[in-house]
């Protein structure tokens, strides 16, 4: 992806930071889990959340929100 910068007319590559990519993946996994409520979707969300926590990409508040969502049993679990 190319972006124009006010300081020059040369286009420069714009790449999202790794923590934003991690949050995007967790968001997609969270939506999948809330829609499908399958053990596979839950496992993917838990795995990504664990990895993101290890990497320091989730805030304490993010972790609390995910924990509260995962604490609610779903009919498929």
Q: Which pLDDT score, from 0 to 100, does residue 5 have? A: 57
Tell whether 52 is covered by a domain.
yes
pLDDT tens digits, residue range 5-17?
A: 566 666 677 898 9
User: 48 near 63, Cβ under 8 Å?
Assistant: no
CA dihedral sign of residues 60, 51, 23, 44: negative
Q: Among candidates 66, 15, 70, which has minimal Cα distance to 42?
A: 70
Q: Is the pLDDT of residue 38 over 80?
A: yes
Residue 63's domain comprises: 38-72
Residue 50 within any structural domain of the chain: yes
Residue 24 domain-assigned (yes or no):
no
The number of distinct structural domains making up the chain is: 1
pTM: 0.76
The residue with tokens 């790449």 is 15
In a domain, 26, yes or no: no
């Amino acid at each position: 992806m190319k972006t124009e910068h006010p300081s020059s007319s040369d286009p420069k590559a714009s790449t999202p930071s790794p923590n934003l990519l991690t949050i995007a993946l967790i968001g997609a996994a969270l939506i999948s889990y809330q829609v499908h409520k399958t053990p596979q979707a839950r496992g993917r969300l838990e795995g990504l959340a664990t990895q993101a926590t290890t990497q320091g990409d989730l805030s304490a508040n993010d972790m609390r929100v995910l924990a509260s969502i995962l604490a609610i049993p779903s009919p498929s679990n």
